[in-house]
Chains A and B, each alone.
Chain A
């Protein structure tokens, strides 16, 4: 048996090790995902849509001839960019919202970058949806029809590298936005120098040691298995969308605003979703719109789905960071400066979130005690797949440079880098050292045997004559405490106590796998513990339906795990009051004379016998008692806890292969809401994190601009055989506000691993590699060997 975490407060339900509430439904194959509802035998009259995708990295459509395609048997409709239904649509952006809030077109988050046309004629990457979309009786017929469309392409020069794209004379991707590929400054992301605290030149002048480094984070993608899809019916004036969008209300807003249909005439239904990881973070993709238009024109249900190849659709920003750190000989950091260039690909989407927004948050919660901090960053359009949101957005790239500078500074000053970390990093509402950071690092160090295994770089003993081992770490502030969720607005929950004392829980959120559904049931059982119920008495509604549910709490920020439970804790008094009101009528008492404990009603003056709530409810009116509550997250600024990964690696100096032997993943959670789910996030996040560290990268043919590995054979995701031993460590040191004072952890579990691996590789071989993924050729090159 592996060690279980020790809770700070022992609770009846919250914090438990237990199976997921959807375990049996999913393990037996009975759980229904959007694509399962759309199979031909379940949807009579179903049409399949396929969209034309550019085979060129940069081109314009001069004209289209669809006459031959229209004659193909089984083709129902073809919509082209010249059709008035499409041509009249406003330019948009796939960055209306980061999922936290539901925003209108006018207020969309990245409104400075409305750079997407719905079925435009200007293609900006290989795979761009342009020109035409076909609806047909079968998917193969739609594909064949696309092949029969005659397209007159005007090929344009293309650019793949952001530095080349900034050079004079580079092809301009978005002439409608300006005469440069550099994304302009905007009100949300801020100026190009978006943090400038103190005096960076003075801070560097005051330093005894100054260190520079450059890191490159390549472009992984989310790779959820449930390829993005939607089924749309447009019947009379009502649009119904079944989708694996994880943002039901935002998708509704998007369709309403773009197609000019009232909000109450658009219904979005989202059942279980097969993984998300930031994929399609927003519900505002053009495919919803052209599928809806096809449904309207044909009067039939239309299904659009991405194939696996087409699901290489958006991913993480490829960001190069230059970092400079200055410190006194005692390890006190005097200056921290970063400059970044992010390759945003063909569309801006959410890239400025990664390049500017996330580093601003990190500065606030971790660099508060460093007197001089500067960040400068630019996003640059190129003819590659767009970058958007991916688990750990922006923080993963920032951590790659931050962990490099701290590790390097420790070496330069001959101080343990763990000590450098806790001497300097923390939030402004607390004195240093930050208790959470100290505990996270001490615990991780003990679990990996830091003192015993750490040696001077490259000076460990040889294993099998050619292999060298090393250990490394990286740390980062967590994020997504309640006070950071204010933009979310009200968080809604409806609890219904049925006449048999069973509970129906509508805590609307699209379940993407995070386990927040189990957190919610545990939170509900805890809040209603006076009813003496178990979690098995609670039915959680698994499908979000905008016609029936209050606004969904989107699974971004890993914070649904506690936000809805906090609302339930606050609502439990109201449930009790309503119950007592009804029961008082039966017992000829006033509600104030009664109370409920462990499922039994008793008189406060101890007169009379205890009677079960269930029995009394059955005697009373059989109407269920429903309490709907919404609450804004608490705004108290509590800082955030810290997270860290420790890695042990073995590097084969002959083959260049890096083998990760062990990972220790430490999260201070504030409060663990559901231990098995939290550990699953810590362990599970390493599939993405190790993939990004070692193998995952989209490769382009530089000559043609064509992506070469849009499939799971050439783009390598770690399998069970590739994963090392992973030790998940849950801590409760920091505490936020509210009943639980928890913090989101799942998103951050990917953040520190790539740097921990790179620092461990350095410890093993004594040569720095600062670019991921670390493939064997990179190791051999670093070791000065010929490939």
Chain B
């Protein structure tokens, strides 16, 4: 008999997996994406839903992939940072932030993919967020390098770039 399977959409591609030894019932979506698919942009620093570095977008909403079981993701659409277009305005704005007085939006970069995905989901929902809305939305992500001021600027810039692109 064929073992029960797991089917999900990752970055626009349908993926089918056999559950069993390689996908244990206890496996999280975060581990599945990293270990099985090699999508290592997301990180798993805490594995406890406390830091946000594993954030991916599931059916349009930012989720902590270390808090989702792989089997729970069956039938859902997952977007990881690898699935963002190369010219995504959030990625560009995080990379380029250097406005005086705010520092850069990243240093070690380990938390960055999580911040980028949380910010991406925010801008999809609220295209022109205020600084306090940004702080609220991103307060589940930890950046120990402390680039919070630069990150907030980057999200503001991303929203401006996005607005310009949509009026073109």
In the assembled complex, the Cα of A687 lies from the Cα of B105 at a distance in Å of 14
Q: Which residues of A contact B82 (CB under 8 A)?
A: 29
Say whether A713 contacts B50, CB under 8 Å.
yes
Does B95 lie within 8 Å of A30, measured CB to CB?
A: no
Is B163 interfacial (CB-CB < 8 Å)?
no
Interfacial residues of chain B within 123-168, with CB under 8 A of chain A in the complex: 134-136, 138-152
B111 on interface, CB distance cutoff 8 Å? yes
Residues of B within 8 A of A18 (CB): 98
Check B100–A513 contact: CB distance below 8 A.
no
**How many interface residues does chain B have, given as a range?**
35 or more
The residues of B that contact A31 with a CB separation of less than 8 Å are: 109
Give the distance in Å from the alpha carbon of A18 to the alpha carbon of B96 in the complex: 8
- B109 in contact with A687 (CB, 8 Å): no
Chain B 36-70 interface mask (CB, 8 Å, partner A; 1/0): 11101111011110110100000000000000000
Known A684-B103, A687-B146: A27·B98 in contact at CB below 8 Å: no
Known contacts A29-B42, A140-B24, A680-B145; is-contact A512 B108 (Cβ 8 Å): yes
Cα distance A230–B116 when bound, in Å? 27
Contact B94 A23 (CB under 8 A): yes
A20:B104 contact, CB within 8 angstroms: yes
In the complex, the chain B residue whose C-beta lies closest to that of A719 is B139
B48 CB contacts on chain A under 8 angstroms: 308, 711-713
Q: With A2-B101, A711-B48 known to touch, is A687 a contact of B95 (CB < 8 Å)?
A: no
The interface residues of chain B lying within 8 Å CB-to-CB of A29 are 40-42, 80-82, 112-113, 116
Is A273 engaged at the interface, CB distance under 8 Å to the other chain? yes
Q: What separation, in Å, do the CA atoms of A686 and B148 have in the docked complex?
A: 10
Interface string of B85-128 (1 = CB under 8 A from A): 01000011011111111111111111111001000000000000
Considering only CB atoms, which chain B residue lies closest to A222 in the complex?
B144
Give the shortest distance, in Å, between B37 (CB) and chain A (any CB).
Answer: 7
Identity of the chain A residue whose Cβ is nearest the Cβ of B38 in the assembled complex: A41
Tell me which of A24, A39, A676, A688 contacts B146 (CB under 8 A): A688
Q: Which of A6-38 contact B (CB under 8 A)?
A: 17-20, 22-33, 35-36
B50 touches A711 (CB 8 A): yes
- Answer whether residue B13 sits at the interface, using C-beta atoms and an 8 A cutoff: no
The listed residue with most A CB atoms (<10 A of its CB), out of B37, B51, B109, B113, is B109
Q: Which residue of A lies closest to B22 (CB)?
A: A40
- Structural contact, A274 and B108, CB atoms closer than 8 A: yes
- Complex: A488 Cα to B131 Cα, angstroms: 44
Q: Is the CB of B101 within 8 A of A679?
A: yes
B45 A513 Cβ-Cβ under 8 A: no
Interface presence of A226 (CB below 8 A) = yes
Q: State how many angstroms separate the Cβ of B156 from the closest Cβ of chain A.
A: 13
Q: What's the tally of chain A residues with a CB closer than 8 Å to chain B?
A: 73
Instruction: State whether A274 touches B109 (Cβ < 8 A).
Output: yes
Interface stretch of the complex, out of A75-83, A191-199, A640-648, A721-729: A721-729
User: A683–B103 contact, CB under 8 A?
Assistant: yes
* Most chain B CB atoms below 10 A, which of A22, A42, A683: A683
**A718 to B146 alpha-carbon distance, docked (Å):** 9
A20 to B139, CA, bound (A): 24
Of the candidates A32, A222, A274, A679, the one whose C-beta lies within 8 Å of that of B102 is: A679
Given A27-B91, A726-B149, the answer on whether A684 and B45 have CB atoms closer than 8 Å is no
Contacts of B100 in A (CB 8 A): 1-5, 17, 675-676, 679
Residues from chain B with a CB closer than 8 A to the CB of A717 are 142, 144
Asked if A562 CB lies within 8 Å of chain B CBs, one says: no
Of B37, B38, B98, B106, which contacts A26 at CB under 8 A?
B106
A17 to chain B: which residues have CB within 8 Å? 98-100
- Assess whether A682 is interfacial by the CB under 8 Å rule: yes
Whether B10 is near chain A, meaning CB under 8 Å from some CB there, is: no
In the bound complex, residues from chain A placing their C-beta under 8 Å from that of B136 are 721
Complex: A543 Cα to B80 Cα, angstroms: 25
On chain A, the residues within 8 Å of B138 by CB distance are 719-720
Q: Contact at A515–B24, with CB atoms within 8 Å? A: no
Binary B-proximity of A79-119 (CB < 8 A = 1, otherwise 0): 00000000000000000000000000000000000000000
A719 touches B109 (CB 8 A): no
A569 to chain B minimum Cβ distance, whole angstroms, is 24
Tally of A-B Cβ pairs under 8 angstroms: 221
Contact of A685 with B by CB under 8 A: yes
Chain A's nearest CB lies how many Å from the CB of B11? 12
CA distance A270 to B155 in the complex (A): 31
**CB atoms of B36 and A41 under 8 A apart:** yes
Residues of B within 8 A of A30 (CB): 41
Within 8 A of B (CB), among A128-182: 138, 140
A273's partner among B91, B108, B134 (CB-CB below 8 A) is B108
What are the residues of chain A within 8 A of B96 when measuring CB–CB?
A: 19, 23
Provide the residues of chain B in CB contact with A56, threshold 8 Å: none
B110 / chain A contacts, CB cutoff of 8 Å: 33, 224-226, 274-275, 513
B112 shortest CB reach to chain A, Å: 5
B101 and A308: CB pair below 8 A?
no
- Say whether A307 faces chain B, with CB atoms less than 8 Å apart: yes
From the candidates A28, A224, A275, name the one contacting B86 in the complex (CB within 8 A): A28
> Does chain A have a CB within 8 A of B84?
yes
Judge whether A308 and B103 touch: CB under 8 Å. no
Chain B residue numbers with a CB within 8 Å of A223 are 144
- Closest Cβ of chain B to A595, distance in Å, is 34
CA–CA, A676 and B101, complex, Å: 8
| Residue A550 CB within 8 A of the other chain | no
- B40 to A36, Cβ gap below 8 A? yes
User: When the two chains form their complex, are residues A226 and B108 in contact, meaning their CB atoms are under 8 A apart?
Assistant: yes
Instruction: Determine the distance from Cα of A712 to Cα of B46 in the docked complex, in whole angstroms.
Output: 8
CB of A677 within 8 Å of the partner chain: yes
Please measure, in the bound complex, the distance between the C-alpha atom of A719 and the C-alpha atom of B103, giving whole angstroms: 17
Interface string of A351-381 (1 = CB under 8 A from B): 0000000000000000000000000000000
A514 interface residue (CB < 8 Å to B): yes
Query: Are A27 and B95 within 8 A (Cβ)?
Result: yes
Residue in B closest to A24 when the chains form the complex, CB atoms: B95
Is A347 part of the contact surface with B, judged by Cβ < 8 Å? Answer: no
Chain B residues lying within 8 Å of A711, measured Cβ to Cβ, are 46, 48, 50
Q: CB < 8 Å: which of B35, B53, B107, B135 contacts A41?
A: B35
Distance in angstroms from B136 CB to nearest chain A CB is 7
In the bound complex, what is the Cα–Cα distance between A27 and B92 (angstroms)? 8
Is A719 a contact partner of B144 (Cβ separation < 8 A)? no
Are B42 and A26 within 8 A (Cβ)? no
Taking a contact as CB atoms closer than 8 A, the residue among A33, A272, A675, A687 that contacts B143 in the complex is A687
Closest beta carbon of chain A to B167's beta carbon, Å:
24
Q: Is the CB of A27 within 8 A of B103?
A: no
Do the beta carbons of A226 and B45 come within 8 Å of each other?
yes
**With the chains together, A33 CA to B144 CA distance in Å?**
16
Identify which of A23, A39, A275 contacts B38 (C-beta below 8 A): A39
- Inter-chain contact B94/A513, CB cutoff 8 Å: no
Q: Which of the listed residues B36, B40, B151 has the most CB atoms from chain A within 10 Å of its own CB?
A: B40
**Are A721 and B139 interface neighbours, CB within 8 A?**
yes
What chain A residues lie within 8 Å of B102 (beta carbons)? 2, 679, 683
Nearest CB of chain B from residue A255's CB, rounded to whole Å = 25
CB <8 Å contact, A719 and B50: no
Residue A556 interfacial (CB < 8 Å): no
A728 touching B107 by the CB < 8 A rule?
no
Q: Which residues in B have their C-beta under 8 angstroms from that of A681?
A: 103, 107
Provide the residues of chain B in CB contact with A276, threshold 8 Å: 108
Q: A23-B95, A225-B110, A272-B109 provided; 13 other pairs, C-beta below 8 A? A: A3-B101, A17-B100, A26-B95, A28-B84, A225-B51, A225-B53, A225-B142, A226-B43, A227-B45, A274-B109, A679-B100, A712-B50, A728-B103
**What are some 21 contacts across the A-B interface (CB < 8 A)?**
A3-B101, A18-B98, A19-B96, A23-B106, A27-B92, A28-B84, A29-B82, A29-B112, A31-B109, A224-B108, A224-B144, A225-B43, A226-B108, A277-B144, A512-B108, A679-B101, A712-B50, A717-B142, A717-B144, A719-B138, A721-B139
- A-B pairs, top 9 by smallest CB distance, nearest first, are A29-B41, A2-B101, A274-B110, A513-B108, A687-B146, A26-B109, A680-B103, A684-B146, A23-B95
